[in-house]
Structure 1
């Protein structure tokens, strides 16, 4: 059974999905949830504490969903980045990702309050990205590149609403990576053959 605090976090997520971050101050939030600012302070200590809890709940839900998607698609020939992009832009998931990015931007503007959360979050997503990559490509640079491409294109989608162009860009990036893999494989094969002669 959920605690009152856990229930409040779920209600806050639902409220922010509908209303965004426009009224992220305790009194309007409390009023919208049918509670009091005093109760929110009791459970979360501050607005920053409240937002950190919401961020963590969103991250946990999304990481679990991403992990499940990777498990289901493990036999698929489709690239994990494409699978995740298609999942992220689906109508049922897009509002959650959009809210997550809005919250991330707010947290990044206040590193003194959210620094620990931001570091932990980056680490958690890096681990998931690494799991999705072929073993020989699980380098910090490649993990960072894949994460940055997704982040950049998702922010572009949030800004422009242009799903077609951003989806084509994801496909183009995947093709560039696949082409680089093939070139590396052929070069390695030639080099091994030359060494054997």
Structure 2
């Protein structure tokens, strides 16, 4: 197996581990066990524990965006129409584990964890850029992202609030 193929296999398993157990449980030994390798091999491939976690979170974000892409037409949409598609997917519960991971990452960042802040910033920027190119009004991307994430937070806390309309 090539190093690239091996790394991709590990990344997939790492993402599954983080989705199942969260960011706080993401220590090298349990993650390595889940990936079928050693903690040393993970550091070899990803450079550090932060690199391992970042790779897992990027894979989660990539999967998330691929699932969203499947629900979208190929051309950019007005904010209201994109929000309707995002709402349909978000309200299905499919992304609840993703919300849990990224809210945990945000909480760590807010508590001063610089690694969590850096990783979270990179992933959020990637999703913001993804949203911009799917809108006919790309300047509205931050507003939509804030509305979707805010809804996810309130929904996760058990508040029955309607999904934003865009």
**TM-score, normalization: structure 1?**
0.66
Q: Which residue of 1 aligns with 2:17?
A: 15
Structure 1 residue runs without a partner (length 5+):
178-197
Of 89, 95, 98, the residue aligned with 2:97 is 95
Q: Which residue of 1 aligns with 2:129?
A: 127
Asked which structure has the greater CA Rg, the reply is 1
Identify which of structures 1 and 2 has the higher relative contact order when contacts are C-alpha pairs closer than 8 Å and 6+ apart: 2
* Structure 1 or 2: more helix by fraction: 1
Structure 2 residue runs without a partner (length 5+):
none
Q: Which residue of 1 aligns with 2:154?
A: 156
Distance in 2, matches of 1:25 and 1:17, equals 14
| 2:73 aligned with 1:71 | yes
Of 38, 50, 53, the residue aligned with 2:52 is 50
Q: Report the CA distance shift for 1:58/1:110 in structure 2 as closer, same or farther (over 3 A).
A: farther
Instruction: Tell me if structure 1 keeps the 8 A contact 2:46–2:52.
Output: yes
| Cα drift, residue 54 of structure 1 | 0.8
Q: Which residue of 2 aligns with 1:37?
A: 39
Three-state SS of the structure 2 residue aligned to 1:5 is helix
Distance in 2, matches of 1:17 and 1:101, equals 12
Three-state SS of the structure 2 residue aligned to 1:23 is coil
Of 86, 108, 124, the residue aligned with 1:84 is 86
| 2:25 aligned with 1:27 | no
Q: How many residues are treated as equivalent by the alignment?
A: 163
Distance in 2, matches of 1:116 and 1:63, equals 20
Deviates more, 1:117-126 or 1:60-69: 117-126
Instruction: Tell me if structure 2 keeps the 8 A contact 1:55–1:103.
Output: no
Cα RMSD for the two superposed structures: 3.1
Q: Report the CA distance shift for 1:148/1:92 in structure 2 as closer, same or farther (over 3 A).
A: closer
Instruction: Tell me if structure 1 keeps the 8 A contact 2:18–2:56.
Output: no
Distance in 1, matches of 2:74 and 2:91, equals 18
Deviates more, 1:117-126 or 1:66-75: 66-75
